[in-house]
Amino acid sequence: MGDDIEEMERMLNEYLEFARHQKNEETEKINLNEIIKDLVNKYKEDKIAVSLEENLEINVRPNSIKRCLSNLIDNGLSYGENIKIISNKTKNNISIFIDDDGPGIAENEYQNVMKPFYRIDKSRGQNKSGVGLGLSIANDIIRSHGGIIALDKSPLNGLRVKISLPL
């Protein structure tokens, strides 16, 4: 029972910290590629391939977007060996695809994994360090920017996370 209480306290503290920081952050114009490149440089380069379209300038809360992408990259590396990040721009939005080669998520679980504290240990491995907030926080961040986050089967046979942000 003590372990359960400790885990719940850790989960709530993490979510409260996220909410506190996001609320106070100002929007600014940034080049999204710079955030992606900075994040990729923190990991082993041979594990993450990137294909980024040039000039992806957008008005966002940079630290929130960085946290979102970091959560998604961490998830991909926790459950898979390799990740591919692709970005492109259309007239109305910027899309980012984060593909991993892990076990993926069953299609009927896509909505559930966006809920806070929901975890699928059976199909996504035994990652005990997570508290089930990574995808939920990523979803909240993208939605707060007017965007959409969607899950699908990756061309790498794992999970594909597609982010669409309006320009």
Tens digits of residue pLDDT in 2-46: 776 776 676 666 666 666 666 678 899 999 999 999 999 988 667
Range of the domain at 51: 2-166
pLDDT band at 128 (very low <50, low <70, confident <90, very high): very low
Q: Is the pLDDT of residue 123 over 80?
A: no
- Identify how many contiguous H helices and E strands the chain contains and give both numbers: 5, 7
pLDDT of residue 125: 45
**Number of folded domains that form the chain:** 1
Q: Is the pLDDT of residue 93 over 90?
A: yes
pLDDT of residue 9: 72
Phi, psi of 119 (to 5 degrees): -135, 150
Instruction: Give the N- to C-terminal CA distance of the chain in Å, as an integer.
Output: 48
Whole-structure pTM value: 0.82
Looking up residue 54, the CATH number of its domain turns out to be: 3.30.565.10
